[in-house]
Amino acid sequence: MNFELSDEQKLVRQTARDFARQEIQPIAAQCDRESRFPIEVFNKAREIGLVNMTVPNEFGGGGWSALELGLVTSELGWACTGIAGAFGLNTIFGDVFHVAGSREQKREAFGRLQAGEFGAYAVTEPVAGSDVASIKTRAVKRGDRYVLNGSKVWISNAPVAQMFVIFAKTDPEAGHRGISAFFVNRDTPGLSVGAPLGKLGQRAGPAAEARQEKRTFPFERARACARSMKSRRLVAARNSRVTGYTPANLVSILAPSSRASTPAPETSAGTETKAPARMK
Ligand SMILES: Cc1cc2nc3c(=O)[nH]c(=O)nc-3n(C[C@H](O)[C@H](O)[C@H](O)COP(=O)(O)OP(=O)(O)OC[C@H]3O[C@@H](n4cnc5c(N)ncnc54)[C@H](O)[C@@H]3O)c2cc1C
């Protein structure tokens, strides 16, 4: 078995290495001191394909695998782990759509990532970190609506995210199998995000804290019309391979007054739009 990187992978790694040295390392210490997420650097990285790397070709992305993502993340992390972490968060958000999204959901989520929006991935709660099966957030179906109720902590990029995937219990008796994922717009009534969280390190990567007793938690009773409420049961094996949360239904909760979405351009399958073509 050949463990050598391909020429294309070496090019990806070198591009990320150059970018880290030229664009991130010079500002890393200051961003960390000021707890500032450099959105202008994020936009530059997006333009040359160093973020949103796993967005499939058919939705206008680079279609890279976890290996290339790892190469890029380790190079960017050399310069600043906070910035590298924040750059990578959209990919974690996107994982949910890879394993559980309908075509319509993928088109919306990936299209909005490609257009420059941020996604946040909200699992952790004050009493449930490693033990995801213990989350308390509830999603209750009432007619054509879901009512979500709960609080999340340590949600990376929440301060800048326009889209959230929120994990909630739809069947509390079923343990880890009773968890569903909800695709929620930031402007959904009832969703609130706390102030950026102070940290001991990685301060350039924004995260929000939730405090239920002070009502500054990221969301409370997020209530909205649910679209695509087909509640597909997904194949557990496929889910666990990528996210570890099984099985997840992915339900879109889009505020009725919802913002104009920016769907991804439909490109013909097989069109090669991989990043090197767009990289310097
Ligand atoms: C900067 C930052 C960004 C984050 N971003 C996100 C995000 O975007 N979205 C999100 O959902 N969450 C996020 N998190 C939360 C993160 O996923 C949790 O911190 C993590 O899951 C650990 O949970 P915990 O902090 O509650 O620690 P705990 O689960 O309480 O674990 C504490 C320690 O005990 C160990 N431990 C726990 N259970 C066991 C066991 N059964 N056996 C042996 N050892 C065990 C752990 O390894 C750890 O060392 C973020 C956290 C940080 C610090």
Segments forming the whole domain that contains residue 128: 119-253
Same domain, 94 and 142: no
| Residue 275 within any structural domain of the chain | no
User: From the CA of 43, how far away is ligand 1's center (Å)?
Assistant: 29
How many structural domains is the chain composed of?
Answer: 2
Question: Atom 51 in ligand 1: which residue has the minimum CA distance?
Answer: 154
Lowest mean pLDDT among 97-106, 120-129, 259-268: 259-268
Residue with tokens 């050399």: 78
Q: What does the H/E/C string look like for 165-225? A: EEEEECCHHHHHHHEEEEEEECCCCCECCCCECCCCCCCCCCEECCCHHHCCCCECCEEEE
Question: What integer pLDDT is reported at residue 194 of this predicted model?
Answer: 84
Same domain, 127 and 13: no
Same domain, 69 and 165: no
User: From the CA of 244, how far away is ligand 1's center (Å)?
Assistant: 14
Question: What integer pLDDT is reported at residue 268 of this predicted model?
Answer: 32
Which distant-in-sequence residues (6+ apart) come within 8 Å of 221 by Cβ?
A: 147, 148, 149, 190
Would you tell me how many other CB atoms lie within 10 Å of the CB of residue 233?
10
Question: What integer pLDDT is reported at residue 265 of this predicted model?
Answer: 38
Instruction: Give the closest residue to 219 by CA, choosing from 198, 253, 179, 188.
Output: 188
What's the rounded Cα separation, in Å, for the pair 66 and 79?
20
Same domain, 134 and 229: yes
Q: pLDDT tens digits, residue range 158-192?
A: 989 999 999 999 999 998 889 999 898 888 888 88
Query: Is the pLDDT assigned to residue 246 strictly greater than 70?
Result: no
Q: pLDDT tens digits, residue range 19-50?
A: 999 999 999 999 999 999 999 999 999 999 99
Mean pLDDT on 194-220: 62
Question: Atom 23 in ligand 1: which residue has the minimum CA distance?
Answer: 129
Question: What integer pLDDT is reported at residue 250 of this predicted model?
Answer: 58
| Residue 188 within any structural domain of the chain | yes
| Residue 83 within any structural domain of the chain | yes
Mean pLDDT on 211-227: 32
- Nearest atom in ligand 1 to the alpha carbon of residue 199 is 1
Average pLDDT, the chain: 77
Lowest mean pLDDT among 7-11, 41-45, 52-56, 209-213: 209-213
Question: What integer pLDDT is reported at residue 88 of this predicted model?
Answer: 94
Same domain, 223 and 124: yes
What's the rounded Cα separation, in Å, for the pair 25 and 144?
49
Same domain, 38 and 96: yes
| Residue 278 within any structural domain of the chain | no
| CB of 122 closer than 6 angstroms to any ligand 1 atom | yes
* Structure tokens belonging to residue 184: 């929620």
Q: pLDDT tens digits, residue range 110-167?
A: 999 999 999 999 999 988 999 999 999 998 888 777 888 888 989 999 989 999 999 9
Best of 87, 124, 165, 184 for a ligand 1 pocket test (most atoms within 8 Å of beta carbon): 124
Lowest mean pLDDT among 78-82, 109-113, 205-209: 205-209
Query: Is the pLDDT assigned to residue 82 strictly greater than 60?
Result: yes
